[in-house]
Amino acid sequence: MELLPMTFAAGFASGLNAYATVFVLGLLGRFLGTGSVPAGFERTDVLILMGVLALVEFVADKVPVVDSVWDLPSTVIRPVAGALIGALIAGAQGDLLTIALAAVGGVTALLTHISRAGVRLAVNSSPEPVSNLGASLAGDVSMLSVTTLAVLYPVPAAIVAAILLALLLWLAWTLISRIRRGLLWLRGRLTLSQADG
């Protein structure tokens, strides 16, 4: 029953960067031939599209205001991607297993995304750029590591993902007052840019 830990780990990774998660899963499935990756992710057109979108998100994630704005549509995209990954891992048969794994992937991605977006909003509103870049790179490394582990060793991947998610949730809870200030900061930046435009 390695489908559940793989789905949980992939859901966590999807909550960090959905496009890169699908891209990495597709590459690993195509070149390692593990059989655990949905075949659709291995298609050349999917790999190209996901690679381009992952690159765009990689760059957007390094710019404080752009990152926080990018997180708004990602609140829908990342959980949907997590649910889709879970459903496809289950075989997308419409049975109880498909529904359960879709729910696990979607909820895990949503929790990861919300806590990640909150922490990043708190970090992005700080005046120095080093913490923003560091937080972004930590997310990239976490996504890549957990996704790779999910394909090769699903149970350890799920354990690592659970620890990282718990840490992220705790950090978001701890930084709640800074997150509120970050929301005001973002609103001010967006209002200022609209006034200039």
User: Which pLDDT score, from 0 to 100, does residue 20 have?
Assistant: 96
Structural domain containing residue 75: 3-196
User: Which pLDDT score, from 0 to 100, does residue 63 have?
Assistant: 85
31-60 residue pLDDT tens: 988 778 888 899 999 999 999 999 999 999
Query: For residue 140, what is the enclosing H or E element?
Result: helix 129-152
In this structure, which amino acid lies at residue 42? E
Place of tokens 């923003």: 132
pLDDT at 126 exceeding the cut of 80 = no
Q: Per the structure, how many domains does the chain have?
A: 1
Query: For residue 120, what is the enclosing H or E element?
Result: helix 96-124
174-190 residue pLDDT tens: 989 888 888 888 788 77
pTM of the predicted protein model? 0.90
